[in-house]
Chain A
Amino acid sequence: MLAFLLRRLAVALSVVLTVSVIAFLLLHLSGDLATDLAGPEASPEQVAQVRAEYGLDQPLAVQYGHWLAGAVRFDFGQSFYFRESVASLVGDRIPITLKLGAIALGLALLFAIPLGALAAVKRGSWFDRATLAFCALGQAVPTFWLGLTLIIIFSVNLRWLPVSGNATWSHYVLPSVALGWYAIPAVMRLTRNGMLDVMASDYIRTARAKGLRPKTVIFKHALRNAVVPVVALAAVQFGFMLGGSIVVEAVFSMQGLGQLAWEAIGRKDFPVVQAIVMLLATIYILLTFLADILNAWLDPRIRVA
């Protein structure tokens, strides 16, 4: 197990490092940053001054070294636009996005797991077919459009929930539904397929043969095993949600990480964009790493492979 752990950790760390190189190069290889920053009316001297001030006159490798040395200490430099340290900007915004992602994932799991399991138990019934049809339809709905439609229905017509912002818990309801929506079909299908596999296995037949109540068989024996792969999927989906929150936050004007990223991109504020790309990638890698470990712990066969 330890060898497995160390190997996975080494891979995860090197992926983080590669992503950092890509994030850095992507934003530095295109165009002349100093000219953009100094503005269209700047004289060549002013451009040169800006270039020196931000260290943009140094070789790329040196700039990357500086940036990386800071990044491992959570120092991502100064924002070009906000005139504030990137770390504190990101630190202020990230709780909102994490909260949004957590609620969205919770809602999605709460909705998808029971329905997926029930669809498997009632395989071939109208309920099963309706669930599958809902999956197909659900996956076709664009997140941003769903968000706007929810606003029209629940905020404008019914006046139940606020249109935008992130002041109270009620501000999180519609954005979480919009963000969690896209994860529902994937979780539902995986739960359903897992349940179908498990229900066909010998130990379920044994449990039934022993005369256990169907409810006990389904919930205690089958669902617990069927849900194992869902844990890994949930980790991956959470990573996607943090990345996808950029769209939802834009629709609902929530001041989270996604909104910060969008503003920073619009203003060519590269230190901020780089830091957010790095942060999201690292969280994703960490989540998949944890999911790997969890799976290996639950299923010893994986450790050998």
Chain B
Amino acid sequence: MIRFSLNGALVDVDAPPTERLSETLRERLGKVGTKVGCDAGDCGACTVLLDGAAVCACLTPAARVEGRMVTTIEGETPELSRLRESFHAHGAAQCGICTPGMLLTAADLLTRSARPSEPEVEQALGGVLCRCTGYRSIIAAVVAAGLGAVMPELPKGGVGTSVRRLDGAAKVAGDSFGADERPEGALVVTAVRSPYPHAAFVIGDLSAFRARPEVSAVFTAADIPGRNAFSVIPPFADQPAIAASPARFRGECVALVAFEPGADPDLTGFPIAWTPLDPLVTPQAAEAGPLLHPNRPGNLLVEGRVVKGDVASALASSAHVVEGRMTTAFVEHAYIEPEAGAAWLDGETLVIRACTQAPGMDREDTAAILGLPIGRVRIIPSATGGGFGSKLDISLQPLIGLVTLKTGRPCRMVYTRGESMTSTTKRHPAEMQGRIGCDAQGRITAVEFEGRFNTGAYSSWGPTVANRVPVHVSGPYLTPAITARARAIHTHGPVSGAFRGFGVPQGAIWQETLYDRLADKAGIDRLEFRLRNALRDGDPSATGQVLRAVGIHDCLMALKPHWTRALAQASGGKGRGVGVASCWYGCGNTALPNPSTIRIGLSPEGEVVLHQGATDIGQGSNTVIAQIAAEALGLPLTAFRLVGPDTALTPDAGKTSASRQTYVTGRAAKAAAEGLRAEILRRANAGMGATLALDGSALTVRDRETLARIDLAALPVDAHGHALTAEASYDPPTSPLDADGQGAPYAVYGYGAQMVELEVDAALGTVRLVKITAAHDVGRAINPMLAQGQIEGGIAQGIGMALMEEYLPGRTENLHDYLIPTFGDVPPIESLLIEVPDPEGPFGAKGLGEHVLIPTAPAILNAIRHATGAEITRVPALPHRIREALP
């Protein structure tokens, strides 16, 4: 028995002495606020205070806390209270998975140094990774907490105000993520995974393994009752939930073992014999190699193309032409929450609570794999500790669903960091080449682009990437002639899927770095060159779509004074460089239906109940959708109660991807709220300008001199339990692309441009980022603080892609060999929110989530070239690659 003080109370716990303290706290004491991100001391998520000092609970033997004081996020200290408030006020918690560890580490700092400076905060918190915020808001929050600065009283308004995140209080208390749902008596599910990128296997006689007392059940591909093939795009369904031989990538699930609760999930002795086969590693080899999928010749999944005008003659007659190549790596999403969830039966209904970005798709795929009618599957998303695209695809949902369905018992599954990294999707590595030309005045004449994308073993979002890249690779610039082709090629690599930008960031690295060379050739300032070519209202895009509400010119103009200042400063400093790059990005599915539905009701008690099905993975939809609804309805946000997401309680608001929630679900929310308002006004016989107010169940409607009262408690209750309900859907008006990629694939585009100032240490090839200035046209900033949070977080991921992130299967499957930016790697960021309202967006709003990552990497490469002349053609630009590229 180990006795210690836990958050001020004495506890006794019977735990093995060398059990990880994180395990003891979570599994034996139910303190699930302590999050586990890596079990290796690489991420700091599990930080607790041991006698006041920050330690990783995952590295601490339980026996070591005997007689000592442990403080977890469930505890309270004066420092923790101040920090919680400050984090909440600064938007310093996005998804919330790193927040407990961040808060406790900061609390340790505040007890040692009451008023820490920014560098002190950075140094002290450097052991905790965050993948969402870009760290700047966290630094600000800790400094402010130290100063005891009175938090600004934030306005309680609708659109345009920086209200605090509605789910923020839960985030700073230790939110409930996929691993935190622990049904009584739940089996613990573990996957057997392929150690090879390509291998045949035979599973031997399972009877002895099944007979182990700790083993409840074993399942293989043969046990899948439905269709053992899924894809986020149903016509491409090719990926098995549990693979039959052969395994097509390292980390692929080939069997499941369900262990009794409390048992050591030991797979030693599982009877499986592997025969490694030659893997196709590169797209080049795969194009000429044996087929992964028999119906895909040349291992080609999809080829996307956009063709307009006569590129050959346009280039031939151009005053200046540049040609270039760019290669990018697999990039891992590296959210701090490894995939996790639980399943149980509620009568006939299979209930799955897990991290996700797409509950509706989870439900459809899980039902199909398990052979269930869709009505028998209910998905309740847990808080999701970062997604960035990878949690759009199902991971463990069908696995835990299968175990519960077959055994009738609840079960849980938590991926290890290694499993999360090997088995889930990646950003596509790209090999890109082509030419861009301009005339003597620097006006773009033509773009010729050829991209080969390593799409890995299965389809996932490969088709989307192949289609999005050619549409966007012109950048937000008027391009009279273009030939752009992107091919997604299968290999035995990890499955490449969605990652913030769907291939557009890779294309932008190629295009924006060539633009700098072209501007230099034309003898035009690089920002001026972009301004000269920036799309304007009424201009046609590469796909021939006539654009409106085009904000790129405004973004570049907003950077101009900064550019002038930065260039002047750089000219004085050794190794100083300045770079700029732009982005544009179409919001929502590419030329496909993409509806969202929102329901809103007034309860008999006088609450506004928002059935909000847009999954908030940290980006802020819980808050932003509610702000839009509040503005449209004309009732304060404080009257709102959020329901969902839950496929049983919320209509389908689609997936959290493609920067679509603010725009698409926001439009649905606006329409639903307007519908509810219209119904209220009709009942009150009031005009459009009437003012609504709630006082308990009394809803008053004031219209000039008249005052009407609706007693909500007196109205009959509808099927949703509400006195009044409205529901509305919205689907973006788009048109299909023709064979040449011509059409109107998106109804709304967002725009942005970023400027990077940096210093290159030429002797070592290292880069120190000095400042990033980011101008993004968001149409209308529904919540400026959350928009800024998206910008800072996207930039951090762009920095990682540019300078350090390279996923190598078998080699960088942890968070110390796979490097993501830490506290010291993200410089101060100045965000400039540009508002060019889009007539299609709710209150003019456009999407932002992915845009923010796109310009960062090319702007960094352009600044490196400006500083040193080094032309980087392969990212990440690790120090040795920069050294090699120096002229």
Chains A and B come from one and the same complex: no
Using a CB–CB distance below 8 Å, which chain A residues touch chain B?
Answer: none
